[in-house]
Amino acid sequence: MTGRIDIWRGWLAAPLLAGMVGTVAAQDAASPALIEGVWRTLLQSEITISPCEGGYCGHLSHIVVPEGMLSGAEAEAAAAMAPEDFFDYRNEDPALRDRPMLGLQILTLWPGKEAYIFDGEIYNPEDGKTYSGYVEMVGPDTLRLNGCVLFNVVCRGEEWTRVPAEEIEARLEAEAAEPAASVQ
């Protein structure tokens, strides 16, 4: 199980905010923070959130190109590409456009004023811009990502769901078996 995320080990508390009003879940010092784990976005890509200097970082860990976001030619080209072949070509900074998308850090978060809110910066690879924003834990398996403009007056958000550990493990096992099957 080395290298895999053990999401539930060490939890001592009830779910966050019973109905958005209540107490915050307490944690054992050795257990991962509730925000840590692999999260599925609205468009089905996945972000892995883990501790980093100053708080938490979120990296693009599984890429899904949603239908309807690309033109016909772009969609055909994307369908033929491996996830490792996607690059940050929409970045506002031309010097960063050759960064691979897989593994790209898109979240930089630090604890907010409330235990269930994490303030930070959100990089949107769809438009190549970085926004101020925050992540709010709305339950043990749901978070709400909010990107903001105009001094945090106008915010837009979406809910992400935690990817079950069993699903991640099955995918890793299938990926590990692929090279063995192609050698035979």
3-state secondary structure 172-184: HHHHHHHHHHHHC
**pLDDT tens digits for range 116-140:** 999 999 999 989 999 999 999 999 9
Average pLDDT over residues 36-60: 95
Q: Is residue 26 part of a domain?
A: yes
Q: Is residue 5 part of a domain?
A: no
Please answer whether residues 81 and 101 qualify as being in contact, where contact means their C-beta atoms are separated by less than 8 angstroms: no
**How many independent structural domains does the chain possess?**
1
Burial of 2 (0-12, 13-18, 19+ CB in 10 A): exposed
Q: Is residue 10 part of a domain?
A: no
Q: Is residue 6 part of a domain?
A: no
Please answer whether residues 53 and 45 qualify as being in contact, where contact means their C-beta atoms are separated by less than 8 angstroms: no
For position 116, what pLDDT does the model report? 93
**pLDDT tens digits for range 65-116:** 777 777 778 778 887 888 888 899 999 999 999 999 999 999 999 999 999 9
Q: Is residue 1 part of a domain?
A: no
Q: Is residue 46 part of a domain?
A: yes
User: Domain containing 99 — which CATH number?
Assistant: 2.40.128.520
End-to-end Cα, the chain, rounded Å: 26
Structural domain boundaries, residue 120: 18-183
Q: Is residue 2 part of a domain?
A: no
